[in-house]
Amino acid sequence: MDLTLQLFDVLEDIWGDTSGIKMSFAGNQWFAAKDVLDFLKSKGYKVYLETIPPGMVRKRAEGESLKVGNLYISFTPEIVSLPPSLLEGLKIKKKVEYTENDIVIVFRGAEINNLCDLKGRRVAIPNPSIEGIGQLFKELYEEECGDYEDLINYGGVYITKVHHREIPHMLKLGDIDAGIMWRTEAIYWTLKYSVPQHNKKGKLAFALLDNASEKAEEVFNLLTSTEVKQIYEKYGFKWIADNS
């Protein structure tokens, strides 16, 4: 799998210490990563974390390497963060659902508050084959507006490779009029956004894989602590794990 992305420093999505516990997270939470790593470091743990599209996280959990420019990352993660449906079939010791998020339309200029109004505009859409939000958007668009293939073939649509890096910059540069993002991303980037009247929510779950070490299990248990809950809530995520 190749994470190389023209004009972007995707090493921003590689965090921590490669000698530490190996983690691979769905990329939309990258802005919480530093805080999470700082917390784990304060507890005495070295951690490596990659924040990449969930389809790539799934393949990493299955043992595939990640290529970034000329760098190959071949070790398998011990802990992953994925939509619950993408955990099916993986060999895991433990899992817990922890956050919930919803889809928004980010835009420049005049407000766009209807998914059906995206047709014919310059719009960036997360790739449904590797992005959970892309698949949810595809389902939502077909429920509300008709054929998804008709939308993307009409013209003006850009399908992203790494939406959490591409869409904010494309919008700010004026390369697109609108994009599909998670609400937390729009809040972080201080972008103008609207929430579709009919919407879908995405969940994320932490999973401890079968290859995990004892120290990785200790880190897994810390990931649902009150301190981590506070980090995610600070960035607008709805916390759904039981911290009792």
What pLDDT is attached to residue 244? Answer: 58
Structure tokens at 229: 């809950």
Q: Where in the chain is the domain with CATH 3.40.190.10?
A: 10-100+202-239, 102-201
* Weakest mean pLDDT among 9-13, 48-52, 83-87: 9-13
113 phi/psi in degrees, rounded to 5: -120, 10
pLDDT band at residue 108 using 50, 70 and 90 as cut-offs: very high
Q: Which residues pair with 83 in a beta bridge?
A: none
Q: Which residues of 101-132 are buried (b: 16+ CB within 10 A; e: fewer)?
A: bbbbbbbbeeebeebebbbeebbbbbbbebbb
Q: Quick one: which of 207, 161, 170 has its CA closest to 191?
A: 170
* Segment 213-242 mean pLDDT: 96
Rounded-to-10 torsion of CA 99, 102, 105, 108 = -40
184 phi/psi in degrees, rounded to 5: -60, -35
Fold of 10-100+202-239: D-Maltodextrin-Binding Protein; domain 2 (3.40.190)
Residue 8, pLDDT > 70, answer no
* Segment 143-163 mean pLDDT: 90
- Contact between 230 and 114 under an 8 Å Cβ cutoff? The reply is no
Q: What is the CATH number of domain 102-201?
A: 3.40.190.10
Task: Report helix, strand or coil for 4.
Answer: coil
